[in-house]
Amino acid sequence: MTKQRTLKQSFSLEGKGLHTGINGRITFNPAPDNHGYKIRRTDLDGQPIINALAENVISTDRGTVLAKNGAQVGTVEHALAALYASEIDNCLIDIDAPEFPILDGSSTLFVRKIKEVGATIQQTDRVYVSFPRKKIKVVDELTGASMLLLPDDHFNIESNISFDSMLLKRQSAKLDDLSDFTKNFASSRTFVFVKEVEYLLRNNLIKGGDLDNAIIIYDKLMPQEELDQLADRMSVKRKDASKLGYMMNKPLLYANEPARHKLLDIIGDIALVGYFIKGKIVANCPGHRINNTFARAIRKQLNVSTEADMNIQQVKPSHFYWNCP
Protein backbone atom coordinates (compact mmCIF):
# COMPACT_ATOMS: atom_id res chain seq x y z
CA MET A 1 0.00 0.00 0.00
CA THR A 2 1.12 3.55 -0.75
CA LYS A 3 1.56 5.67 2.35
CA GLN A 4 0.48 9.30 2.70
CA ARG A 5 3.14 11.98 2.35
CA THR A 6 3.72 15.47 3.64
CA LEU A 7 6.53 18.02 3.30
CA LYS A 8 9.75 17.48 5.24
CA GLN A 9 9.82 21.15 6.18
CA SER A 10 8.09 24.44 5.47
CA PHE A 11 8.93 26.75 2.58
CA SER A 12 7.70 30.18 1.51
CA LEU A 13 7.27 32.20 -1.66
CA GLU A 14 6.27 35.83 -2.19
CA GLY A 15 4.57 37.63 -5.04
CA LYS A 16 1.55 39.56 -6.28
CA GLY A 17 -1.89 38.18 -6.98
CA LEU A 18 -2.89 38.09 -10.65
CA HIS A 19 -6.34 39.61 -10.09
CA THR A 20 -5.90 41.74 -6.97
CA GLY A 21 -2.30 42.85 -7.51
CA ILE A 22 -1.79 42.50 -3.75
CA ASN A 23 1.59 41.23 -2.62
CA GLY A 24 1.44 38.19 -0.40
CA ARG A 25 3.62 35.63 1.32
CA ILE A 26 2.57 32.00 1.06
CA THR A 27 4.03 29.27 3.28
CA PHE A 28 3.56 25.55 2.78
CA ASN A 29 3.82 23.56 6.03
CA PRO A 30 3.98 19.86 6.92
CA ALA A 31 0.66 18.48 8.18
CA PRO A 32 -0.40 15.29 10.00
CA ASP A 33 -1.94 12.16 8.50
CA ASN A 34 -5.44 12.58 7.00
CA HIS A 35 -5.15 16.38 7.15
CA GLY A 36 -5.53 16.98 3.42
CA TYR A 37 -5.03 20.47 2.01
CA LYS A 38 -6.10 23.36 4.22
CA ILE A 39 -5.51 27.08 3.74
CA ARG A 40 -5.08 29.48 6.68
CA ARG A 41 -5.55 33.24 6.21
CA THR A 42 -2.91 34.50 8.63
CA ASP A 43 -3.77 38.15 7.96
CA LEU A 44 -7.33 37.85 9.27
CA ASP A 45 -8.60 37.87 12.85
CA GLY A 46 -8.59 34.38 14.29
CA GLN A 47 -6.59 33.08 11.30
CA PRO A 48 -9.57 31.19 9.80
CA ILE A 49 -8.93 27.93 7.97
CA ILE A 50 -10.51 26.94 4.65
CA ASN A 51 -10.69 23.28 3.69
CA ALA A 52 -9.55 22.93 0.07
CA LEU A 53 -12.59 20.98 -1.10
CA ALA A 54 -14.78 21.34 -4.18
CA GLU A 55 -17.92 22.34 -2.29
CA ASN A 56 -16.09 25.34 -0.79
CA VAL A 57 -15.54 26.93 -4.21
CA ILE A 58 -17.58 30.14 -4.49
CA SER A 59 -16.28 31.52 -7.78
CA THR A 60 -14.67 30.19 -10.95
CA ASP A 61 -14.36 33.46 -12.85
CA ARG A 62 -10.84 33.21 -14.34
CA GLY A 63 -9.57 31.34 -11.30
CA THR A 64 -10.73 29.13 -8.46
CA VAL A 65 -11.84 30.93 -5.28
CA LEU A 66 -12.44 29.08 -2.00
CA ALA A 67 -14.36 30.38 1.00
CA LYS A 68 -15.22 29.12 4.49
CA ASN A 69 -15.41 30.42 8.05
CA GLY A 70 -15.81 34.02 6.90
CA ALA A 71 -12.66 33.98 4.78
CA GLN A 72 -11.88 33.45 1.13
CA VAL A 73 -8.79 32.98 -1.02
CA GLY A 74 -8.37 33.00 -4.79
CA THR A 75 -6.20 31.60 -7.58
CA VAL A 76 -5.38 28.45 -5.65
CA GLU A 77 -5.21 26.11 -8.64
CA HIS A 78 -1.53 26.40 -9.64
CA ALA A 79 -0.25 25.68 -6.14
CA LEU A 80 -2.69 22.82 -5.57
CA ALA A 81 -1.67 21.29 -8.91
CA ALA A 82 1.94 21.34 -7.73
CA LEU A 83 1.07 19.62 -4.44
CA TYR A 84 -1.14 17.01 -6.10
CA ALA A 85 1.30 16.23 -8.91
CA SER A 86 4.14 15.97 -6.37
CA GLU A 87 1.98 13.43 -4.48
CA ILE A 88 1.79 15.44 -1.28
CA ASP A 89 -1.31 14.30 0.63
CA ASN A 90 -1.24 16.65 3.60
CA CYS A 91 -0.28 20.32 3.74
CA LEU A 92 -1.28 23.41 5.70
CA ILE A 93 -0.91 26.50 3.52
CA ASP A 94 -0.52 29.89 5.21
CA ILE A 95 -1.32 32.98 3.14
CA ASP A 96 -1.39 36.61 4.29
CA ALA A 97 -3.36 37.94 1.31
CA PRO A 98 -6.70 37.28 -0.42
CA GLU A 99 -5.04 35.57 -3.36
CA PHE A 100 -2.17 33.14 -3.95
CA PRO A 101 0.77 34.80 -5.77
CA ILE A 102 0.75 34.29 -9.53
CA LEU A 103 4.57 34.15 -9.73
CA ASP A 104 5.37 33.33 -13.38
CA GLY A 105 1.82 32.18 -14.19
CA SER A 106 2.60 28.48 -13.86
CA SER A 107 3.26 25.82 -11.20
CA THR A 108 6.98 25.54 -11.75
CA LEU A 109 8.21 27.57 -8.74
CA PHE A 110 5.86 25.71 -6.40
CA VAL A 111 7.09 22.36 -7.73
CA ARG A 112 10.71 23.43 -7.47
CA LYS A 113 10.38 24.30 -3.79
CA ILE A 114 8.51 21.07 -3.04
CA LYS A 115 11.35 19.11 -4.63
CA GLU A 116 13.93 21.13 -2.68
CA VAL A 117 12.47 20.43 0.76
CA GLY A 118 11.43 16.87 -0.04
CA ALA A 119 8.66 14.69 1.36
CA THR A 120 8.16 12.64 4.51
CA ILE A 121 6.43 9.26 4.33
CA GLN A 122 3.64 9.06 6.89
CA GLN A 123 2.03 6.15 8.75
CA THR A 124 -1.43 6.07 7.17
CA ASP A 125 -2.27 4.42 3.87
CA ARG A 126 -3.27 6.75 1.06
CA VAL A 127 -6.91 6.47 -0.02
CA TYR A 128 -7.49 6.36 -3.77
CA VAL A 129 -10.76 7.19 -5.47
CA SER A 130 -11.67 4.80 -8.27
CA PHE A 131 -14.83 3.62 -9.97
CA PRO A 132 -13.90 0.36 -11.73
CA ARG A 133 -17.34 -0.10 -13.30
CA LYS A 134 -18.61 3.45 -13.57
CA LYS A 135 -18.20 6.49 -15.77
CA ILE A 136 -18.77 9.95 -14.36
CA LYS A 137 -19.52 12.70 -16.83
CA VAL A 138 -20.44 16.37 -16.59
CA VAL A 139 -21.67 18.30 -19.61
CA ASP A 140 -22.46 21.90 -20.50
CA GLU A 141 -24.98 21.57 -23.31
CA LEU A 142 -24.74 25.29 -24.17
CA THR A 143 -21.07 25.06 -25.14
CA GLY A 144 -20.29 21.39 -25.65
CA ALA A 145 -17.76 21.44 -22.82
CA SER A 146 -17.49 18.12 -21.03
CA MET A 147 -15.47 16.22 -18.43
CA LEU A 148 -15.42 12.44 -18.26
CA LEU A 149 -13.85 10.06 -15.75
CA LEU A 150 -13.22 6.55 -17.08
CA PRO A 151 -12.00 3.50 -15.17
CA ASP A 152 -8.21 3.05 -15.25
CA ASP A 153 -5.51 1.65 -13.01
CA HIS A 154 -3.70 4.99 -12.68
CA PHE A 155 -4.33 8.73 -13.03
CA ASN A 156 -4.02 10.20 -16.53
CA ILE A 157 -5.60 13.05 -18.50
CA GLU A 158 -6.43 13.79 -22.11
CA SER A 159 -7.45 17.40 -22.65
CA ASN A 160 -8.69 19.26 -25.74
CA ILE A 161 -9.26 23.00 -26.09
CA SER A 162 -10.88 25.03 -28.86
CA PHE A 163 -11.13 28.78 -29.53
CA ASP A 164 -12.44 31.03 -32.25
CA SER A 165 -8.94 32.31 -32.98
CA MET A 166 -6.59 32.14 -35.94
CA LEU A 167 -3.65 31.68 -33.56
CA LEU A 168 -5.26 29.24 -31.16
CA LYS A 169 -7.91 27.06 -32.75
CA ARG A 170 -7.62 23.49 -31.50
CA GLN A 171 -4.95 22.08 -29.24
CA SER A 172 -4.59 18.91 -27.23
CA ALA A 173 -2.41 17.82 -24.34
CA LYS A 174 -1.98 14.45 -22.70
CA LEU A 175 -0.52 13.48 -19.34
CA ASP A 176 0.13 9.74 -19.06
CA ASP A 177 1.27 9.75 -15.45
CA LEU A 178 1.68 12.28 -12.61
CA SER A 179 5.44 11.75 -12.82
CA ASP A 180 5.35 13.58 -16.20
CA PHE A 181 3.98 16.78 -14.67
CA THR A 182 7.22 18.38 -13.47
CA LYS A 183 9.04 18.10 -16.78
CA ASN A 184 6.23 18.58 -19.26
CA PHE A 185 3.45 20.65 -17.67
CA ALA A 186 4.50 22.56 -14.54
CA SER A 187 6.07 25.47 -16.47
CA SER A 188 3.05 26.07 -18.74
CA ARG A 189 1.69 29.58 -18.18
CA THR A 190 -1.79 31.02 -17.98
CA PHE A 191 -3.01 32.88 -21.07
CA VAL A 192 -5.43 35.58 -22.19
CA PHE A 193 -6.49 37.20 -25.45
CA VAL A 194 -5.76 40.90 -26.07
CA LYS A 195 -9.43 41.46 -26.93
CA GLU A 196 -10.30 40.46 -23.36
CA VAL A 197 -7.64 42.55 -21.64
CA GLU A 198 -9.57 45.83 -21.94
CA TYR A 199 -12.59 44.30 -20.17
CA LEU A 200 -10.40 42.80 -17.48
CA LEU A 201 -8.58 46.07 -16.88
CA ARG A 202 -11.80 48.06 -16.82
CA ASN A 203 -13.23 45.73 -14.18
CA ASN A 204 -10.01 45.57 -12.13
CA LEU A 205 -9.67 41.83 -12.73
CA ILE A 206 -5.97 41.65 -13.63
CA LYS A 207 -4.24 44.21 -11.44
CA GLY A 208 -1.25 41.88 -11.16
CA GLY A 209 -1.08 40.80 -14.81
CA ASP A 210 1.99 41.55 -16.92
CA LEU A 211 4.10 40.13 -19.75
CA ASP A 212 6.13 38.03 -17.31
CA ASN A 213 3.29 35.99 -15.82
CA ALA A 214 0.91 35.38 -18.73
CA ILE A 215 0.79 34.48 -22.39
CA ILE A 216 -1.06 37.31 -24.17
CA ILE A 217 -2.50 36.38 -27.56
CA TYR A 218 -2.93 39.15 -30.13
CA ASP A 219 -5.03 37.46 -32.82
CA LYS A 220 -7.25 40.24 -34.21
CA LEU A 221 -5.95 43.54 -35.58
CA MET A 222 -6.86 46.69 -33.69
CA PRO A 223 -5.91 50.38 -34.12
CA GLN A 224 -2.41 51.22 -32.94
CA GLU A 225 -3.79 53.87 -30.58
CA GLU A 226 -6.02 51.34 -28.80
CA LEU A 227 -3.21 48.82 -28.42
CA ASP A 228 -0.91 51.56 -27.10
CA GLN A 229 -3.52 52.54 -24.51
CA LEU A 230 -3.76 48.94 -23.30
CA ALA A 231 0.02 48.67 -23.11
CA ASP A 232 0.22 51.91 -21.12
CA ARG A 233 -2.50 50.76 -18.69
CA MET A 234 -0.59 47.51 -18.12
CA SER A 235 2.71 49.43 -17.82
CA VAL A 236 4.33 47.31 -20.52
CA LYS A 237 6.25 48.11 -23.71
CA ARG A 238 4.14 49.15 -26.67
CA LYS A 239 3.81 46.66 -29.54
CA ASP A 240 3.31 47.05 -33.31
CA ALA A 241 -0.45 46.70 -33.90
CA SER A 242 0.09 45.46 -37.47
CA LYS A 243 1.78 42.26 -36.32
CA LEU A 244 -0.38 39.49 -34.92
CA GLY A 245 1.17 36.98 -32.54
CA TYR A 246 2.05 36.30 -28.94
CA MET A 247 2.86 39.29 -26.75
CA MET A 248 4.94 38.37 -23.72
CA ASN A 249 8.54 38.67 -22.61
CA LYS A 250 9.30 34.94 -22.73
CA PRO A 251 8.37 33.01 -25.90
CA LEU A 252 6.17 29.93 -25.90
CA LEU A 253 7.79 26.98 -24.18
CA TYR A 254 5.72 24.51 -26.19
CA ALA A 255 3.64 24.88 -29.34
CA ASN A 256 0.65 23.70 -27.26
CA GLU A 257 1.50 25.57 -24.06
CA PRO A 258 -2.09 26.89 -23.65
CA ALA A 259 -3.46 23.33 -23.80
CA ARG A 260 -0.84 22.19 -21.30
CA HIS A 261 -1.80 24.99 -18.95
CA LYS A 262 -5.46 24.01 -19.16
CA LEU A 263 -4.42 20.48 -18.17
CA LEU A 264 -2.45 21.96 -15.26
CA ASP A 265 -5.60 23.79 -14.16
CA ILE A 266 -7.57 20.54 -14.30
CA ILE A 267 -5.15 18.94 -11.85
CA GLY A 268 -5.36 21.92 -9.49
CA ASP A 269 -9.16 21.85 -9.54
CA ILE A 270 -9.37 18.05 -9.27
CA ALA A 271 -7.15 18.25 -6.18
CA LEU A 272 -10.30 19.62 -4.51
CA VAL A 273 -11.81 16.13 -4.64
CA GLY A 274 -9.71 15.57 -1.52
CA TYR A 275 -8.29 12.23 -2.64
CA PHE A 276 -5.93 10.89 -5.26
CA ILE A 277 -7.76 9.45 -8.24
CA LYS A 278 -7.21 6.28 -10.24
CA GLY A 279 -8.89 6.87 -13.56
CA LYS A 280 -8.65 8.55 -16.94
CA ILE A 281 -10.00 12.06 -17.35
CA VAL A 282 -11.09 13.12 -20.84
CA ALA A 283 -11.71 16.87 -21.01
CA ASN A 284 -13.19 18.88 -23.86
CA CYS A 285 -13.05 22.65 -23.53
CA PRO A 286 -12.16 22.54 -19.81
CA GLY A 287 -12.38 25.58 -17.56
CA HIS A 288 -12.55 26.24 -13.83
CA ARG A 289 -16.36 26.18 -13.75
CA ILE A 290 -16.82 22.78 -15.35
CA ASN A 291 -13.72 21.47 -13.55
CA ASN A 292 -15.37 22.31 -10.24
CA THR A 293 -18.70 20.81 -11.28
CA PHE A 294 -16.76 17.66 -12.19
CA ALA A 295 -14.92 17.56 -8.85
CA ARG A 296 -18.23 17.99 -6.99
CA ALA A 297 -19.78 15.16 -9.03
CA ILE A 298 -16.92 12.84 -8.10
CA ARG A 299 -17.25 13.70 -4.41
CA LYS A 300 -21.00 13.15 -4.56
CA GLN A 301 -20.54 9.82 -6.31
CA LEU A 302 -18.29 8.57 -3.51
CA ASN A 303 -21.36 8.24 -1.30
CA VAL A 304 -24.11 7.21 -3.69
CA SER A 305 -22.72 4.67 -6.16
CA THR A 306 -22.09 0.94 -6.24
CA GLU A 307 -19.40 -0.71 -8.30
CA ALA A 308 -22.05 -2.48 -10.38
CA ASP A 309 -23.68 0.78 -11.47
CA MET A 310 -22.58 1.55 -15.04
CA ASN A 311 -24.77 4.59 -15.64
CA ILE A 312 -23.21 7.87 -16.76
CA GLN A 313 -24.12 10.69 -14.41
CA GLN A 314 -24.48 14.09 -16.07
CA VAL A 315 -24.36 17.29 -14.05
CA LYS A 316 -25.07 20.48 -15.99
CA PRO A 317 -23.32 23.70 -14.95
CA SER A 318 -25.67 26.67 -14.68
CA HIS A 319 -23.37 28.88 -16.76
CA PHE A 320 -20.82 28.30 -19.48
CA TYR A 321 -17.09 29.02 -19.18
CA TRP A 322 -15.67 31.88 -21.22
CA ASN A 323 -13.24 30.01 -23.47
CA CYS A 324 -15.64 27.44 -24.93
CA PRO A 325 -16.70 27.84 -28.55
Active site residue ranges? 288
Report the candidate in 31, 50, 53 with the shortest Cα–Cα distance to residue 95.
50
Are 150 and 131 in contact, with CB atoms under 8 Å apart?
no
Give, for 159, the enclosing helix (H) or strand (E): strand 156-162
Residue 297 one-letter amino acid: A
The length of the chain, given as a count of residues? 325
CA dihedral 314, 315, 320, 324 (to 10 degrees): -30
State whether the Cα torsion 49-55-56-61 is positive or negative: positive
Which DSSP symbol is given to 188? P
240 burial class (0-12, 13-18, 19+ CB within 10 angstroms)? exposed
What are the residues facing 172 on neighbouring strands? Answer: 160
